[in-house]
Amino acid sequence: MSKTAAVIKGDGVGPELVDAMLKVTEAAGTDVEFVMCEAGAGWWEKHGGNSLIPDETWDILDSSDACFKGPTTTPGGIGSPRSVAVSIRSKYNLYANVRPIKTFPNSSAPLGDVEMVCVREGTEGLYIGEEIQLTDDVSIAIRKITRTASHKIASYAFEEAKRRGYDAVVPIHKSNILKLTCGSFLEEVEKVGKNYPGIEIWPYHIDNIAQQLIKNPQIFNKKVLLSTNLFMDVISEECSALVGSIGLIYSANIGDSFAMFEPAHGSAPKYAGQDKVNPVATVLAGAWMLDYLGEKEKSEAIFKATKRVISEGKYVTYDLGGNAKLSQMAGEIAKYTAEILK
């Protein structure tokens, strides 16, 4: 039986990017059945309620093998719903948010070539969204860190390092100030690390690594950067800048029995409908999903085709120094993907 994937096209540039991803996976000859569903600010503005995800979409997600989410807009302000991504991560316990960071040939490398993976705990920390107003003047946010989740994400990070042949896991923390939350996180990383004698542990304070990633990012090549939810949200954005464009960064949210794949960037509403933005992050997130669903050869072909298009530099979008449209670049990736699989 073929696998099924729920597909949320999202807001802003999301629909056109997801269409590009679907075009490329079609060229790869995927057998995955894509089931379209709605979620995001656009849907919520029309229908209201306390969630950006309608009940029908939850039903589709429950019956699918994986989810693909295009960029979605999250409304801000008091009383607005939590984001689509956070809601799905929470419901399906997608504890590992993973962003590979690697310089592409013939693309901008502002501070030199880099290769690393960012692993972010995806279910707790400040992202539980629990805030309390104590007085008219004082509000507090709860940062929830459990040893259970810390141990689980540390295990994922060491396994990822082992799988890739990387030589270190870099836990990012602030345990000199946050002695209980960051302290317990770091202790769990060190416990897990004892089971991986060939992989070093390089602890870094959050402020120090933010500086070192600009001063000398190559010291983190072939390392897994690991942290709690908000810290790694920030650091992974900084790492994304090292490859020249957030439009190149694909990501996955992985649990024990379900996963959601998405580009790392936002919905960029000012570019919606202009056929302009870089499709690579979306296309490669889709390719990663195919791998997850058992279509490794087709996934690898999409990665190879994308690398070739960027290397040639003829059909690349404005952020990569070219003038190709989103659809043109996606079309070239689709064409090369089909050729590779012939």
What is the chain's pLDDT, residue by residue, as a tens digit (342 residues)? 789 999 999 999 999 999 999 999 999 999 999 999 999 999 999 998 899 999 999 999 999 999 999 999 998 887 789 999 999 999 999 999 999 999 998 888 899 999 999 999 999 999 898 999 999 999 999 999 999 999 999 999 999 999 999 999 999 999 999 999 999 999 999 999 999 999 999 999 999 999 999 999 999 999 999 999 999 999 999 999 999 889 999 999 999 999 999 999 999 999 999 999 999 999 999 999 999 999 999 999 999 999 999 999 999 999 999 999 999 999 999 999 999 999
Nearest-CA neighbor of 341 among 279, 289, 297?
297
pLDDT digits (tens, 9 = 90+) for 123-139: 999 989 899 999 999 99
Q: Are residues 237 and 249 in the same domain?
A: no
Q: Are residues 90 and 173 in the same domain?
A: no
Q: Are residues 121 and 233 in the same domain?
A: yes
Neighbours of 35 (CB within 10 A): 15
Q: Are residues 209 and 232 in the same domain?
A: yes
Q: Are residues 218 and 281 in the same domain?
A: no
Q: Are residues 258 and 292 in the same domain?
A: yes
Provide the pLDDT for residue 287.
98
The Cα–Cα gap between 62 and 281 comes to 25
Provide the pLDDT for residue 244.
87
The Cα–Cα gap between 317 and 337 comes to 19
Provide the pLDDT for residue 122.
95
Q: Are residues 230 and 124 in the same domain?
A: yes
Boundary (domain end) residue, out of 218, 241, 264: 241
The Cα–Cα gap between 33 and 98 comes to 24
C-beta of residue 17 within 8 angstroms of C-beta of residue 262: no
What does each C-alpha distance from 102 to 87, 205, 307 come to in angstroms?
Answer: 28, 23, 11
The Cα–Cα gap between 114 and 220 comes to 8
Q: Are residues 170 and 138 in the same domain?
A: yes
Q: Are residues 236 and 270 in the same domain?
A: no
Provide the pLDDT for residue 80.
84
Contacts of 19 (CB under 8 A, 6+ apart): 9
Half-sphere exposure (Cβ direction) of 75: Cα atoms closer than 13 Å: 18
Q: Are residues 221 and 255 in the same domain?
A: no
Nearest-CA neighbor of 286 among 308, 305, 311, 260?
260
Provide the pLDDT for residue 175.
97
Domain total for the chain? Answer: 2
What does each C-alpha distance from 242 to 144, 175, 217, 276 come to in angstroms?
Answer: 30, 27, 8, 22
What does each C-alpha distance from 70 to 105, 180, 225 come to in angstroms?
Answer: 26, 36, 25
Q: Are residues 221 and 122 in the same domain?
A: yes
Boundary (domain end) residue, out of 222, 241, 260: 241
Nearest-CA neighbor of 233 among 216, 257, 214, 249?
249
Provide the pLDDT for residue 76.
83
Answer positive or negative: Cα dihedral of 292, 296, 298, 302. positive
Q: Are residues 48 and 88 in the same domain?
A: yes
Mark 262-301 as b/e (b = at least 16 C-beta within 10 Å).
Answer: bbbbbbbeeeeeebbbbbbbbbbbbbbbbbbbebeebbbb
Boundary (domain end) residue, out of 204, 224, 241: 241
CATH number for the domain that contains residue 185 = 3.40.718.10
Q: Which amino acid is at 133?
A: Q
Q: Which amino acid is at 24?
A: V
Half-sphere exposure (Cβ direction) of 76: Cα atoms closer than 13 Å: 0
Burial class, 57, CB count within 10 angstroms (exposed 0-12 / middle 13-18 / buried 19+): buried
Q: Which amino acid is at 202?
A: W
- Residue 271: domain span: 1-101+245-341
Contacts of 107 (CB under 8 A, 6+ apart): 243, 244, 245, 248, 310, 320
C-beta of residue 306 within 8 angstroms of C-beta of residue 333: yes
DSSP state of 77: S
